[in-house]
Amino acid sequence: MAEKIHRLVRTRTNNPNPYAQANKDATKRAFALLPRLRERGRAAIDPLEPAVRTAIAGNIIDYGVAKAFELKATLERVLEQPFAIDGMAVLREALAEVDSVLYLADNAGEHESP
């Protein structure tokens, strides 16, 4: 459904990437938070959990879904609130059985490094 909506928006606006500027601005704000997030990971007893929480926040922050959001507030909420479904133990077990992980980022093409 999202693809149909986005195709319609691109067609009606005659713009192949109507979210380009919003994505660029959001990426710039996110990169500004990166040093703090890295420090949080280094300071954590278990750095996996803040990494997972940051990935969750990245999936919540999506202009295609929400018209507006507060980046810092969303990130803080995700970093602090308890998981609705805590799959960390299962994830740790799975990671213990492998030598490497392939992480696919569904929105990786939406930004450029500032």
The predicted-structure confidence for 46-97, as pLDDT tens digits, reads as follows 999 999 998 888 777 766 566 566 778 888 888 899 999 999 999 999 999 9
The answer to whether residue 4 is domain-embedded is no
Q: Is residue 10 part of a domain?
A: no
**Orientation of helix 71-80 relative to helix 48-60, angle to 10°:** 140
Domain that holds residue 68: 21-110
In a domain, residue 7? The reply is no
Q: Helix, strand, coil shares of the chain as percentages rounded to 5?
A: 60, 0, 40
In angstroms, what is the C-alpha Rg of the chain?
17
Q: Which residue has tokens 């192949």?
A: 16
Indicate the helix (H) or strand (E) that contains 12: helix 2-13
Structural domain count, the chain: 1
Q: What is the pTM of this model?
A: 0.71
- Please report which confidence band the pLDDT of residue 11 belongs to, taking 50, 70 and 90 as the band edges: very high
pLDDT at position 110 over 80: no
